[in-house]
Amino acid sequence: MDNNRKVADQKGSKTAVIQMLRIYGPMSRIELAKRTDLSRATISITIQELIELGLIHETEIRQSTGGRPPTNVELVPGSHAVLGADLNQEGWMLGAFDLLGRTLASRRIAFSPFTQEAAFRALIDAIPIFISELDKSPMPLLGIALPGIVDSHLGLLRSSAVLGWQQVDWASEFERELGWPTTLLNRSRARGLSECRYGAGKSYRHMIYIGIDAGIGAGIYIDRELIHGAAGGAGEIGHTTVTDHGPLCPCGNTGCLQMVSAAHAIEREARRQLRLGTPSLLQQPELDLQLLRSEHVCQAAEDGDELALQIIGSAAAYLGMAMANLVNLLNPEAIILGGPVPADSPSYVTAAEKVMRQRAMSTLSRNTEVKLSRFQETGGALGAANFMLDRHLTFSYLLP
């Protein structure tokens, strides 16, 4: 076969096949032809060329009863690497991932002071060292996940209450410094994308991810593709109103979901009750209430503490109301709960699901599964890397 023909991708057929296999997983030639709108002849030629380039291979999908065994085609593990980074209040998580979402390497990057400039410089300085320790050079692409309202189209962090930053034009700044195309994505949407493609949601076409931490964010995925909204804000479930009362939210509203269901809400109510002298396993002489964290309340609830169970149940009930609204509005196949609160407290998950099923239309909710996320440390970085590949992968990056 002509080598020039093998590496050319004039009609985009090779890129299209790689993207379909990356997003939807192994599939047959017939499925690829349907999803890409390419002819079967083009698919056949493209697959053969990609096999010869070592990018995909064939796998038998079931025991043959005679004749040629039926096959799927799938990506070859570890053929290429892409970088993703996720920022939270503890610093960066930087990861290298292959096209199948497998983690090739990861590293925590701390920095101080916690400023835009320090965060930017810490990641820029860490990337060359990180790359030098990889077995292969990554594609020159970078995906970044950030907490807050992120306009991915403009590459702009519009605002982040968690970070205390606004109007951060990092996509262009990283591109200037690294010389690499760079995309920004909200970290809840990024984590959900990891679950959608490779984690607890990989068996579903339509799912919603909800991350419960200091705040609450969500990602909405239709046919395994992320829904962004006009300004990148689709999924700001933490700022939906679930009560007429509640503490003032940083967004300026009262009654926001995150103010009654997130980690800080759990901590705030536990401190209030303990100061009132409510009996609890949490009421210990040596405990400084300022150091009380949601994980302590979650653990006490799992140990059967009445106060902790009450606090967790109340917080989860508000989340269940929001989940019911999502079920009625979007009819997902699954809702994936991520973040430390669901991970620390099965009671929280159980209570939220119970309220969801009570309040949602039964014809819709009975087929909606509720699951825990699988990714913890690297989920945001992996999702950001995937989003970058969704937006910017071309066959030129895959050439040998």
Looking at the fold, whether 48 and 165 belong to one and the same domain comes out as no
Lowest model confidence (mean pLDDT) among 5-14, 253-262, 336-345, 381-390: 5-14
pLDDT band at 2 (very low <50, low <70, confident <90, very high): very low
209 and 225 share one domain:
yes
Q: What is the pLDDT of residue 358?
A: 97
User: In this structure, are 328 and 358 located in the same domain?
Assistant: yes
CATH number for position 19? 1.10.10.10
What's at 239, amino acid-wise? H
344 and 217 assigned to the same domain: yes
CATH number at residue 349: 3.30.420.40
Q: Both 63 and 125 in a single domain?
A: no
86 with 230, same domain: the answer is no
Residues 259 and 318 in one domain: yes
**Residue 7: which pLDDT band, with cuts at 50, 70 and 90?**
low
Question: Are the beta carbons of 68 and 58 closer than 8 angstroms?
Answer: no
Q: What is the mean pLDDT of residues 274-286?
A: 90
Q: Tell me how far the alpha carbon of residue 9 is from its chain's centroid.
A: 31
Residues 205 and 188 in one domain: no
- Cβ(127)–Cβ(96) under 8 Å? no
Q: Can you say how many angstroms the Cα of residue 158 is from the centroid of all Cα atoms in its chain?
A: 19
Q: What is the pLDDT of residue 239?
A: 94
Rounded to whole angstroms, how far apart are CA atoms 84 and 384? 5
| pLDDT single digits (tens) 219-268 | 999 998 999 888 888 999 999 999 998 899 988 999 999 999 999 999 99
| Amino acid in the structure at residue 280 | S
pLDDT tens digits, one per residue of 156-210: 999 998 899 999 999 999 999 999 999 999 999 999 999 999 999 999 999 999 9
- Residue 211 CA, chain-centre distance (Å), reads 9
Report percent pLDDT > 90 for the chain: 86
d(CA 355, CA 321): 6
Q: Residue 10: what pLDDT?
A: 66
What is the predicted pLDDT for the residue at 230?
85
Dist CA 384 CA 184 (whole Å): 7
pLDDT recorded at residue 67: 60
State pTM to two decimals: 0.91
Could you report the per-residue pLDDT of 110-164, keeping only the tens digit for each? Answer: 999 999 999 999 999 999 999 999 999 999 999 999 999 999 999 999 999 889 9
If asked whether residues 188 and 210 sit together in one domain, one would say no
Asked if pLDDT for residue 353 goes beyond 60, the answer is: yes
Picking from 54, 75, 96, the residue at the C-terminal end of a domain is 75
CB 146 within 8 A of CB 87: yes
Q: 51, 75, 99 — which closes off a domain?
A: 75
Q: Are 199 and 374 spatial neighbours (Cβ–Cβ below 8 Å)?
A: yes
Instruction: Please tell me whether residues 227 and 133 are part of one structural domain.
Output: no
Residue 89 has pLDDT above 90, yes or no: no
Claim to verify: residue 121 and residue 239 sit in the same structural domain: no
Angle, vertex CA 33, rays to CA 226 and CA 39, nearest 5: 135
pLDDT of residue 118: 97
Mean pLDDT of the chain: 93
Q: What is the pLDDT of residue 69?
A: 65
Angle between the N-to-C axes of helices 294-302 and 306-330, in degrees from 0 to 180, rounded to the nearest 10 = 100
HEC string of the chain equals CCHHHHHCCCCCHHHHHHHHHHHHCCECHHHHHHHHCCCHHHHHHHHHHHHHCCCEEEEECCCCCCCCCCEEEEECCCCCCEEEEEEECCEEEEEEECCCCCEEEEEEECCCCCCHHHHHHHHHHHHHHHHHCCCCCCCCCEEEEECCEEECCCCEEEEECCCCEEEECHHHHHHHHHCCCEEEEEHHHHHHHHHHHHCCCCCCCCEEEEEECCCEEEEEEECCEECCCCCCCCCCHHHCECCCCCCECCCCCECECHHHHCHHHHHHHHHHHHHCCCCCCCCCCCCCHHHCCHHHHHHHHHCCCHHHHHHHHHHHHHHHHHHHHHHHHHCCCEEEEECHHHHHCHHHHHHHHHHHHHHCCHHHHCCCEEEECCCCCCHHHHHHHHHHHHHHCCHHHHCC
Q: What is the pLDDT of residue 6?
A: 53
List Cβ neighbours of 184 (8 Å cut-off, separation of 6 or more). 144, 145, 146, 150, 151, 152, 155, 156, 157, 170, 171
Which structural domain, as residue segments, surrounds residue 114?
A: 82-192+379-398
Number of domains in the chain: 3
Instruction: Please check the confidence at residue 21 and state whether its pLDDT lies above 50.
Output: yes
| Residue linked to tokens 């860490």 | 126
Is the CB of residue 116 less than 8 Å from the CB of residue 124? no
Q: Are 258 and 323 found together in one domain?
A: yes
Nearest-angstrom CA–CA distance, 178 and 23: 27
**Torsion angle (degrees, nearest 10) of CA 286, 288, 293, 294:** 70
C-beta neighbour count of 363 within 10 angstroms: 8
Share of the chain above pLDDT 70, in %: 96
Given 29, 60, 75, the domain boundary residue is 75
- Work out the pLDDT band at 337, boundaries 50, 70, 90: very high
Q: What is the pLDDT of residue 4?
A: 47
